[in-house]
Amino acid sequence: MATGEYNRDQRYISTRIAADGPYPVEAGRYRLVVSRACPWANRAIIVRRLLGLEDVLSMGVAGPTHDERSWTFDLDPGGRDPVLGIERLQEAFLKRFPDYDKGITVPAIVDVPSGAVVTNDFAQITLDLSLEWAAFHRPGAPLLYPPELRAEIDEVNAVVFADVNNGVYRAGFASSQEAYEKAYHRLFDRLDWLSARLADRRYLVGDTITEADVRLFTTLARFDAVYHGHFKCNRSKLTEMPVLWAYARDLFQTPGFGDTIDFVQIKQHYYQVHRTINPSGIIPAGPDLSGWLTPHGRESLGGRPFGDGTPPVRAV
C-alpha cells in the first residue's frame, strides 16, 4: 500500500578518484560539475574552496533550472561547458554508461580527457576531497575530517542527512497528509536537537569547522528562501530559531561559505523546476536576506574556524 512518503533514489556512481584506483588523483584531469542552486553540490563548492583546490580541480557551473533529462550549461556562452564542450551533463553520463537509467545529478566529477563521468556520489566526493586530494591542499587548509573526530562526524552526519538534509525533501514531496506530517515533525524534532547541541558549542563536532558543519549549512542557507514555504516546513523560520540562525550566520560570514551562496539561483531552481508543487513557476520576491550579515555573537563560545590553518583568500 502506498504511504505517500518520498524516497530519494540513492543509486549513485560509487567510483572513487583515489591514488590506487583506475581514476588516480591528478591535477587538471578532472572537472567538478555543480549548480549553485543545489545543496548537495554546494557542499562540494565549499569544500573545494576551503581546501584551495581551485587550480587542480576545475569547476563547471550548470544553470539553476533543468528539464527531466539533465542539468544544462545555459550560463555559458553558446550553452556549452567551455572545458567539456557539452550542453547537458547527461552527455558525460552516457559517455561512460550508454544505457544509464538513474538520476543525472550534481555534483558530478567528469574525467576531462575521456569526457566521461567518474562519480556523482555527493557524500563521498567531499570526503575524498579532504582525504585523497590532500597532496594538493593549499597551505593552511583546514582539517575537515580529522581522524580523531571521524566517528562522531559520521554519527552526526547520518542523523542530519536523514532528518534535515533529506528531511525537508521528505516533507516537500510527500503525497499524503500522514507522510508530510511525519516528515515535518521529524525535521523539527531534529532541528530542536541541533539547537540544543549548538547552544553551548560553536561547531557541531570539535572546536573547528568540519564536514558536519558544511553538510548542515547548505540546508540552513536554503531554509527561509525555499523550504519554509515551498516545502511547507513552516513551524518556524530559520530566523525564528535563535541558536540555529546565529550558527548559520556565523558560517555564512566565514570565508568559503556565504561567498558560495546564490540566493537568486536557489529560488529559481526550486520554484521553477518543481512544477508539481508550484505549477505557476512564480518565484517569490522575498524573504529579506539582509540579516545574513548581521552580528551573530558566536565568537563568545570560543572555537577556531580553521583550527591551526587559515581562511581561503581567493574568490570563487
Question: Cell 555559458, residue?
Answer: 76
Catalytic residue of the set 30, 145, 169, 247: 169
DSSP letters for 196-262: HHHSS-SSSSTTS--HHHHHHHHHHTTIIIIIHHHT---S--GGGSHHHHHHHHHHHTSTTSGGG--
Question: Cell 558549542, residue?
Answer: 201
Catalytic residue of the set 38, 145, 180, 184: 38
Distance between CA 313 and CA 259 in Å, rounded?
11
233 noted as active-site residue: no
Do residues 116 and 136 touch, judged by C-beta distance below 8 A? no
C-alpha distances out from residue 101 to 12, 97, 105, 122, 123, Å: 11, 9, 12, 18, 20
Burial of residue 78, with CB atoms counted within 10 A of its CB: 0-12 exposed, 13-18 middle, 19 or more buried: exposed
**Residue 150 in 3-state DSSP?**
helix
38 noted as active-site residue: yes
What kind and span of H or E run contains 110? strand 108-111
Residue 71 annotated as binding site = yes
Q: Which residues are annotated as a binding site for glutathione?
A: 71
Active site residues: 38, 169
Q: Which residues are annotated as a binding site?
A: 71
